[in-house]
Structure 1
Amino acid sequence: MIDIMFDGFISRQPIFARDLGLYAYELRVCVGDSGREVTPMGDTLSQASNAIALDELTGPLPAMITSPLDLMAGNAIAWPAERLILKFSPEVLDQNSDLSSLLPRFQATGYTVSIDGEWQGLDPSSLQLPDGSLITLSATSLPPESILRHYKNQSNITLLAQNINEPDQYEQMKQLGCDLFQGTLFEKPRQFTDTVIPAERSATLHLLARLQDPSIEIDEIEILVSRNATLSYKLLRLLNSAFFARPQTVDSIQRAVIFFGLERLRNWASVIALNSVDYQPRELITTALVRARTAQLLAQTSVSTNSGHCYIAGLFSTLDGMMQAPMATIVEQLNLVPDIKQALIDGSGDVGEVLTAIRALEQGQCSHGLSSRLEPGVQQKAYLNAISVASEVLGAIA
């Protein structure tokens, strides 16, 4: 966990392969979280890399970072070069006249080089990119067709499509030869034509509705979970895993209720139920768990909001992507208290404010509705803890 303070916040955004498997994370950095004078971005990255192990942010996966000019001037990054993708913006590239020697030098150090496709100097006739380089293409602003044709046929260059927010953009970028994809589309419904939810997913929603019913009794939840063999097995496996490190074995749902309490038990059962749904990308459940835990911790430490409600709002925040249906349709089928419903549908209310703040942090925005009410470092600590918890829980129920 982070012990060294630095002037900023680092979050992550998934980058997907063609099969929607997870390829890497892009790290989003915002500065000024501590309220001190804002330091240069390169200093912030250098401080962060000495304060946070890369594994805490991305696990074993590579990390893409936008390389600021002052980083190129010599700021040291403690993270392993072979796990970093350096993304060079047009502004940074324009400040360096000797790219033909600079880019191979970064590659020789171990970095993977990524060039912004909007850079006007991206000319195959005058700039030879190192083998294994990436070119990032924005779905909202494509480079000239001649550039696309050239790099589409280069087996040693990978095209990464970013800012994919609509289904037609996704299809277009696949046709252009992109192999990597990033954008908000992948946590939203992509293909529904009506509001009818398939039977298998509808059954999961029914289970979630019963689990989250405020009036449910202990004996009823015991029966509900015990009747579902897969849910019962995975729940007991999770509760007996190293994550909880209990000295006594929990060998029945009845004992689980005694040891963990009703609210915690039905929340963990909800996680397992969500993980059982067939959806792509699978990263959606990780995103949901990270949001849930972050929201819970922020509510417990710094915000006068019900932490249990914040947890459920975060956990259910990707349900529309999982179920491929509008969030309003899904919420109608769940027995949720009003403040959770409001948070999920339009981000309003106290719970919605917490969820909206977490979404802002994910996009690299330090300034949000809660920022003035949080102590320095609280957000980063909560976020890193949430990533760790999500990884351990999903590993235990895999």
Structure 2
Amino acid sequence: MDNTSLPLLARQPILNRRQKVVGYELLCRPVPQDTRQWQDVFGDHATSEVLISAFNDIGIDQVTGGLPAFINFTRHWLHNPPMLPSNRLVAELLEYIEPDAENLQALQSLRKFGYRIALDDYQGDAAPVALFPLVDIIKVDIRRLPDLAMLPQLIEEHKAHGLKWLAEKVETQEEFEFCLAAGCDLFQGYFFSHPANVYGKRLPDSQLAVLQILKVLNMPDARINDVASVLQTDPQLSYKLLKLVNSAAMGFVSVVSSIPHAIMLVGLDRLRSWSNLIALGKLQHKPDVLREQAVVRAHLCKAMVFAWPGLDEDTAFTLGLFSLLDAFFDHPLTEICQQLHLPESLTQALLQHQGDYGLILATTVAMEKGRWEEIDWPLLQGLGLEPADMERHYLNALHTTRELFGQLGG
């Protein structure tokens, strides 16, 4: 992570009885105040900031390493849960949320979606007990208990609910050993670790929207309906795609008037490749020459792939197009690939020039920069690609790119 970036959030580890990290609580930066007044005014926004930072700006895998993220849920977020994978998130119910009928119903709905639920800052009082049948984890603030000695009794009293008990704000070895003997399953506090900043660079809204489109389009297991849905919700993208499909160069007799029809005629992979291109064109603050450079690379990679048995032309096109994503987003290519969840072969080719696709990209970049000495000519010639062929492919890529931009209206 670039240490010159700003801290977007903080994280504090949650450990099990063997002091192994099993999750992280994610905290807003600056760390929220632990008062009801602060939560009433700023709590919704703080949770929103954490969710955006963790799942969009940085990437949840990078933040938690695949472990669950414990995130504060205000009443608003309880009734309007984010559409995020339930296996990656533990909803941490703030202690101020009352066990009224509406909240209990919202908790039941949250459980149906598969979320685990933790009750935050339990202090031994009777009111929150009505929530116990609907939660999985009780977080006990040991600093707020009237007497730490009452902890074993609390756990024993409610053992019928099958709950996990988390001792939070553990600050000494003695406190850890006492909570362990009392029956706590999970632990959190300064004794183990202070909250640590997680650094990142926030994407502008325009870039974030484009990244979300690319993510859905390029999921390895994306279905036709998934791709059609994301295209149909973006009028500009749909218009430009249909304009391209209906251009004279495509040669269709009848007019194609819908995205599903276009997918049927053109094919999902090709339409996905074009969609990637048009989506990047929505980043209007980027110069046209950058977009042209990416598309030339895409067409050159696609031209070269026909010499390789078993490789896919549309994957090669995406490879060349995405090779400049770091310049489009002003963000490290490693982090962008993590957020897009691209196929492993494509990721390795982009980041390390590994595999056959990686060799194609390395050759394309060398051609672009005029570094002919860096090209593995014996290998290319063994595949039937002579220097004259490569020069012709490069000139054709330039010509095709300019034609394509003309069809798209620039």
TM-score normalized by the length of structure 1:
0.49
Structure with the bigger RCO (C-alpha within 8 Å, sep 6+) is: 1
TM-score, structure 2 length as denominator? 0.48
In terms of fraction of residues, the more helix-rich structure is 2
